[in-house]
Amino acid sequence: MCFKWQDLPGIFVIDGMQLIRRVLWGLLFLLLVAGCERDYMFRGGMEGIAFSTDTVMFDTIFTSIGSATRHLRVYNSYGSDMTIDGIRLAGGEDSRFRINVNGVSSHDVSDVPLRSGDSLFVFVEVTINPESNADPSFVVTDSILFYTKERIQSVKLVAYGQDVVLLRKSTVGTRRFTAEKPYLIYDWLVVDTAAVLTIDPGAQLHFYKGASLVVSHEASLKVQGTKDKPVVFSGSRLEEWYADQPGQWGGIFLLPGSRNHEIDYAHIRNATIGLTADSVGMDGAAPLLLSNTKIEHISKQGLVAQSSSILSWNSLFADCGSASVALTLGGNYEFYHCTIANFFRWPYRGVPALLLSNYYVNEEDGEEDVVDLEKALFSNCIIYGVNDNEVGLDFKQKVKSGNPAEETMVNYFFDHSLIKTTLDPELLRNAQHFNEVIVNESPLFASPGDYNYQLDTLSIAQDHGGLESARLFPKDYFGNLRIDATILPDLGFVERVEEQ
């Protein structure tokens, strides 16, 4: 039996072509709807995702408020919509920071859609109580981790956790730093040409990663610490774990032509290079005066001097990844009652604790430029460490102007000192360079593993010092007298004092 269209009930009586058109329009609508639904199946490629910054910095000093909010943008530069697998705080639930992604506030947000060519905001908040001493850090840090199929990327988070004087990429004229607040240096601090930076007793200068103090041409650095209130130069992480970690900041650099430097009772620690003096104090200028100073926990050299003049006493140079003291390119140096020790416990150290050199290789022509070592005097000193040889002598001779009588000057002298070395015994008997020197005997430091370089009661370095140098510097690092009617001075920066 066959039906005609007109035989169907009224609501079903539809012209055949009209029905076909409606079906086609319906299919087209479904296709359009399906095309508007993004699948976000793409999970990213090797290029990763892009960010508006690599560091979110909260550079407000929190003196009266404890929290602040910043943001960054995340970009999808691919030709496809994508899903970011996860956006997480590296510090997890314990982080001082919080993030908000697409309205979701959590330390861990998963499956975040991001359209092709579009971006999203990640809001970051940090809460710090500036009145609390619970957090010892000057800098509170964390990272946001971004997980895609091919990569894990990160953006650093940095906030200041105490009330400090912030100096970032700063150049200062004549100025005095006080002990009222700590100073936090980010990137660099430059003492301008002909200016004088004076630092009061008890002042603290903390340097963020890679930051340095640079003293310019004709400028001067005056560090005026005391026994009870030393001036501290260190990294910005004050947690106990970081106390002996080297390489946390750049160092102090005294540039050529800078002058009249005086550093007394300074603690310079945790740097890449502790103190560099480049062409300072020569040609009749005043030497760098370096007294009662400790340079420790350094990833490379503790003190580097190039063609400079230094007078140092009662100072400690220790725990360095390279030489504790490197005196290079000649110069004029006097060290009295100093301890140059190196028990560095990180990667193997192939350089002796003390290095003396008088030349460098010119990069332009490959020639060796030889410079006079006018004087390198070590009197009443200790030079010791874990290596078999802790005294390195690296000298070149060059006849000047074809006159053999004008050979390069190499003048070094160890007087009433203790050294550890593999130098030729014949050289060690040369009175021109060595006098009353103890060779390869342990000084019996109290506890070098704990960075205590005072002398044990059985130390051979007791009462071995020369009176002449002790009279020049009659008090040790702690202010104890070195000589009296019954005893001779000890070697090193600290006099052994028996408990009463």
Q: How many CB atoms lie within 10 A of CB 410?
A: 18
Which of 24-28, 38-42, 357-361 has the lowest average pLDDT?
A: 24-28
Same domain, 192 and 335: yes
Residue 489 included in any domain: no
Using the 3D structure, point to which of 107, 132, 160 is the last residue of a domain: 160
Is 217 found in the same domain as 112?
A: no
Q: What total number of domains does the chain contain?
A: 2
Indicate whether 144 belongs to any domain.
yes
Residue 311 lies in a domain: yes
Contact (Cβ atoms closer than 8 angstroms) between residue 295 and residue 303: yes
Say if residue 404's pLDDT is above 50: yes
Closest CA to 163 of 132, 189, 141, 187: 132
CA atoms within 13 A on the CB side of 399: 5
Of 55 and 363, the structure prediction assigns the larger pLDDT to: 55
Whether residues 315 and 443 share a domain: the answer is yes
Q: Is 244 exposed, middle or buried (0-12, 13-18, 19+ CB in 10 A)?
A: middle
Confidence at residue 407, expressed as pLDDT on a 0 to 100 scale: 75
Q: For residue 178, give its domain range.
A: 165-472
Give domain status of residue 34, yes or no: no
User: Which has the closest alpha carbon to 395: 360, 350, 420?
Assistant: 360
- Domain-ending residue, one of 131, 160, 189: 160
Report the pLDDT value the prediction gives residue 149, as an integer from 0 to 100. Answer: 86
Strand pairing category for 288-291 and 294-298? unpaired
The 3-state DSSP class for residue 296 equals strand
78 and 196, same domain (yes or no): no
Please report, for residues 130, 205, 227, the alpha-carbon distance to residue 65 in angstroms, rounded to integers and kept in the order given.
Answer: 7, 24, 36
Contacts of 335 (CB under 8 A, 6+ apart): 310, 312, 313, 315, 325, 377, 378, 379, 381
Q: Are residues 180 and 112 in the same domain?
A: no
> Which amino acid, one-letter code, is at 348?
Y
pLDDT tens string 110-144? 999 999 899 999 999 887 765 555 455 567 889 99
Q: Using an 8 Å Cβ cutoff, are 253 and 278 in contact? A: yes
pLDDT digits (tens, 9 = 90+) for 407-447: 789 999 999 999 999 999 999 999 999 999 999 999 999 99
CB 318 within 8 A of CB 339: yes
Q: Final residue of a domain: which of 143, 160, 177?
A: 160
- The more confidently predicted of residues 270 and 397 is 270
Angle, vertex CA 31, rays to CA 30 and CA 33, nearest 5: 65
Residue 490 lies in a domain: no
Cβ contacts of 210 within 8 Å, gap of 6 or more = 187, 249, 250
Given a cut of 50, whether residue 349 has pLDDT beyond it is: yes
Is residue 64 included in any domain, yes or no? yes
Residue percentage of the chain with pLDDT more than 90: 67
Asked if residue 122 and residue 245 are part of one domain, the reply reads no
- Whether 143 and 292 map to the same domain: the answer is no
| pLDDT given at position 137 | 59
pLDDT at 257 over 70: yes
Distance CA 325, CA 301 (A): 7
Q: Are residues 95 and 217 in the same domain?
A: no
Instruction: Give just the sign of the alpha carbon dihedral 288, 355, 390, 464.
Output: negative
DSSP state of 467: H
pLDDT in tens, 187-204: 999 999 999 999 999 999
Q: What is the CATH number of the domain that holds 72?
A: 2.60.40.10
11, two tokens? 């609501």
Strands 212-215 and 359-361: unpaired
Looking at the chain, the whole-number percentage of residues with pLDDT higher than 70 is: 86
105 within 8 A of 99, measured Cβ to Cβ? yes
Q: Can you read off the two tokens belonging to residue 47?
A: 């290029």
Q: Examine the domain organization and report whether 103 and 135 are in the same domain.
A: yes
Question: Residue 133: inside a domain, yes or no?
Answer: yes
Return the pLDDT at 237: 80
Best-predicted range by mean pLDDT among 103-117, 132-146, 465-479?
465-479
In a domain, 482, yes or no: no
Do residues 199 and 106 both lie within one domain? no
Q: Which residue has the higher pLDDT, 400 or 344?
A: 344
170 plus 266 within the same structural domain: yes
**Digit-coded pLDDT (tens) for 159-168:** 876 778 889 8
* pLDDT of 41 higher than 60: yes
* pLDDT band for position 1 (cuts 50, 70, 90): very low
Calpha distance 82→67 (Å, rounded): 33
Q: Are residues 238 and 147 in the same domain?
A: no
